[in-house]
Structure 1
Amino acid sequence: MSTAAPGMATSACLQACAEFFAAADLAVFEHDLAAGMLRLSGAAAEMMGIGSERSLAAADHDRSVHANDLDRLHAERRRAAERGGPFQFAYRMVRPQDGRVIRLEARGAALRDAAGGGVRLGG
């Protein structure tokens, strides 16, 4: 079951929300698990130190995740996708731009597409 607004596809709903949050300069992400892609607001891309990239392969993002946190992050993503609904997890990232270690906390919801197959994590 999708929690998107009536008549709006989950991805379109997440995109609309991302635009609102971006206007408020908040860090917003959408992770399409099936496609292995992350879409980021400008604030999220800036915070993560990845320059102007607004869409990137999850594998590229994961190369910057602190080595001690990567397995746990993958497990948290899997749990969120299996459970659906709200999630919250924290991890460290080494910013590619400057090598600084930052701590991120991802909060959001796992949403299934209308067909019930694909899962997107958005937050």
Structure 2
Amino acid sequence: MLDWFQLANNKENKTIQLRRYLHQYPELSFEEFQTHDYIVNQLSQLSCDIETPIGLHGIKATFKGSGDGHTIALRADFDALPVEELNDVPYKSKNPGCMHACGHDGHTAILLTV
């Protein structure tokens, strides 16, 4: 049986690294040029088919299993908000007046490591 807790622990450092990078470089909706490229670069290191752009900056990654079974879809937003970050953390937003304040950086990092 698959040990989901161990699997999550194995991905923890990579997820944190991705989330902190995305948090440092937020981009507003319809302006996610660098974020798009970063995500595509991360996906290109995995065994998946990448389709982009979908809309303006959307990305579709298809992972094919080895057997028959159900299909699932997972999605995440990766736009940020026009908010000045006041947090004093090493991964603070480097883009003035823009930050990930509602978790999209975390959602995207999680999907990149699922």
- TM-score, normalized by the shorter chain, greater than 0.5: no
Task: State TM-score, norm by structure 2.
Answer: 0.27
Task: State TM-score, norm by structure 1.
Answer: 0.26
Q: Which has the larger radius of gyration?
A: 2
More strand per residue: 1 or 2?
1
More helix per residue: 1 or 2?
2
